[in-house]
Structure 1
Amino acid sequence: MIQLQIEGGTPMELQIGKYTARISVLPPIHPKFRITPEPAAPNSTDGEEEQIEAEPISGFTCIIGYTSGGGEVSERLITCRSLRAHGTGLTIGAICHAAKGFRAFRVDRISAVSDPHTGEVIGDGSYFSRFAVKSSDKARAPSGGWGLTPSRMRTLVAGLNVLSFIARCDGYWHALEDEPLANFIERLWMRKDWEGQPPVAAILDHAKRLAPDSSIFFASLETIFGSRSSTRLLISSVRELIEADGIIQDQETNWVLAMQQHQEEYYARKGLLGSI
């Protein structure tokens, strides 16, 4: 069993409920955006999404310009969950922070995708094509995720979501925490012997647009725990991350303990206890 030893910091006695502690620390929102809270529709059938799995699109947070079926134009802050085929196009499943719930958005109705922190427009609906995974989805929108296959992109983004969650759990992404994430990207690329050089700057920009909640955090851990080498690398990267600013916060300690507990539960389910 891989253990992450932490020196300093005081573990809280708070027991984190994995499926109820749905915290998500969003990046600061650029003042140019005006996100108006949306009242919940009576008898809405949108509800909560299906069981969450780690996907390349998981945790990606952005502002979209969206036109509804009725022609209403709005700006919405969303944290993405899934990308699925819809007729001849694609649909994004996401948490809409204005509606405070799960919503589905047709990619062909998205006019703009913007970085919520900088306000930069980074694309239109076609931007999401890089996150397509299934062959049926890719036929509708060719994938282009940093030159990686869908399985490799899933592994990379899972690690980024875990590290992004730990970086943001104290409420602030410190500049000193950039280096541990860049190191994770480079080391994962090298250990997996992936072709070419990693576009570290572009991937780090993506990592800063991630705002995973605890459900994405745990789903991403399960993706990483499936590989011994990925698990070892993530453990060392988490250690490097929480020590980067010289202060280990209680929130960081608490979530690392939850991470260790989930690792033990995962190995127990898979019959792998004591094998690493």
Structure 2
Amino acid sequence: MGVFDGLARLFRRTESVPPVMPATFHPEGLAEPDDADMTGLFVTIGVESAVVDQPAHDGRAHFCVGNDKFQAIAEEAAGSTFAIDYQDSKGNLSRRRITMRELYTNGERSYVQAFCHERRAARSFRFDRIVEVIDLDGECHDPRQFFIEALGLEFPTVATVSSPTKPPASPVRYEQSAPRNRAAGPDVRTTDKPGMAQRRAARDGLRVLVALARADGELHPEELEVILDYIAEQCDLCGIDMMEPDRAALLPYLKRQQPSSDILSECLLALNAAPRIQQRLLIRFAMMLMDADGVQDPAEFNLIMRIQQELAG
């Protein structure tokens, strides 16, 4: 067990808490059960666009793409929370709040796998059936424009989607996922918009800090500043500059973040393998975070102190 494993207990307290939306927002169209193709899609090999129900044995529905032409492209967007207007396969419209887990695409058709706060369960949404995105401030957006500009995603064409050389995996239990590979050097791309390289560099730590900050049910402005400062120092360790336009772009990204325990379990696995200097940096900012809003949760404080003592050993 790694030094960060105890943090996972804190995350489950608020992972399914619906995001705060303007008073004018109201969920709609949820009187009837969701379509079967929203409760756990499995895109089968060799059958174009075919889907079957694939519930996980723990009672939660997970989205798994078995077609080797599909790939996941939303690692940086995982944990982003917003609302959508969605039209299902029967033409029924619904409005609901979701926390994004992944976006799968083959360059032509894409699926959003997310936690639906109205259903309190995992759901899958075909991207071309998302009619509108409603951000946390109530502003409405074209879905594709929002995913590209606000979430920083790129939709590849069919030609750019690579096929894996190994057979597709069975449906994944996220809590058992292995940590993703991390580049050793600076991860800066010529197409990067402000804040993109910085959120990649600090991805795991910033999600842990956001989850800790939300443990009391609210993300305070003072806590956001602490998290931004953490990102800046983590970027400095990685040799990536962080300027004011980057901080400005990161602010709405952090406000949308409401990472679930399965996302955070991946972050914790990666942090357990991170260099000690990065672990110490995260602990230092976790301590600062608890003081930022002037309120200390005893359970959080005791846990951070135990982790700090173990790292110092």
Q: Do both share a fold (TM > 0.5)?
A: yes
Q: Residues 16 and 138 of structure 1: is their aligned pair in 2 closer, same or farther, counting only changes over 3 Å?
A: farther
Deviations 1:173-196 (A, max 9, x none): 223212201201221222211256
Name the residue aligned to 1:49.
Answer: 62
Deviation at 1:168, TM superposition (A): 0.7
Q: Do the aligned residues in 2 keep the contact of 1:66 with 1:75 (CA within 8 Å)? A: yes
One-letter code of the match for 2:290?
I
- Choose from 101, 112, 126 the match for 1:81: 101
The 1-side partners of 2:26 and 2:260 are apart by 23
After superposition, where does 1:146-185 map in structure 2 within 5 Å? 146=194, 148=196, 153-185=199-231
What is the aligned-residue identity percentage?
A: 28
Deviation at 1:223, TM superposition (A): 2.7
Name the residue aligned to 2:246.
Answer: 199
Deviations 1:219-247 (A, max 9, x none): 22223333214323222211111111232
Q: Residues 87 and 133 of structure 1: is their aligned pair in 2 closer, same or farther, counting only changes over 3 Å?
A: closer
Q: Residues 144 and 77 of structure 1: is their aligned pair in 2 closer, same or farther, counting only changes over 3 Å?
A: farther
One-letter code of the match for 1:183?
D
One-letter code of the match for 1:202?
A
The 2-side partners of 1:85 and 1:66 are apart by 18
Q: Structure 2: state its 5+ residue gaps.
A: 40-52, 56-60, 65-71, 162-190
Does residue 1:252 correspond to 2:271, yes or no? no
Does residue 1:27 correspond to 2:19, yes or no? yes
TM-score under structure 1 normalisation?
0.72
Does residue 1:60 correspond to 2:80, yes or no? yes
- Choose from 226, 232, 235 the match for 2:273: 226
SS of residue in 2 equivalent to 1:163? helix
Q: Residues 179 and 196 of structure 1: is their aligned pair in 2 closer, same or farther, counting only changes over 3 Å?
A: closer
Q: Do the aligned residues in 2 keep the contact of 1:113 with 1:125 (CA within 8 Å)? A: no
The 2-side partners of 1:243 and 1:144 are apart by 33
TM-score under structure 2 normalisation?
0.64
The 1-side partners of 2:144 and 2:154 are apart by 16
Deviation at 1:126, TM superposition (A): 3.7
Q: How many residues align?
A: 249
The 2-side partners of 1:232 and 1:133 are apart by 34
Task: Kindly report the root-mean-square deviation, in angstroms, between the aligned alpha carbons of the 2 structures.
Answer: 4.1
Q: Do the aligned residues in 1 keep the contact of 2:230 with 2:282 (CA within 8 Å)? A: yes
The 2-side partners of 1:33 and 1:235 are apart by 37
Deviation at 1:97, TM superposition (A): 1.5
After superposition, where does 1:75-114 map in structure 2 within 5 Å? 75-86=95-106, 88-114=108-134
Q: Do the aligned residues in 1 keep the contact of 2:114 with 2:123 (CA within 8 Å)? A: yes
Report which structure shows greater RCO (CA 8 Å, sep ≥6).
1
The 2-side partners of 1:231 and 1:16 are apart by 13
Deviations 1:68-87 (A, max 9, x none): 22222221210111111146
One-letter code of the match for 1:49?
H
Structure 1 range deviating more: 92-101 or 118-127: 118-127
Deviation at 1:59, TM superposition (A): 1.0
- Choose from 138, 143, 150 the match for 1:119: 138
One-letter code of the match for 1:244?
A
The 1-side partners of 2:159 and 2:274 are apart by 26
Q: Do the aligned residues in 2 keep the contact of 1:63 with 1:115 (CA within 8 Å)? A: yes
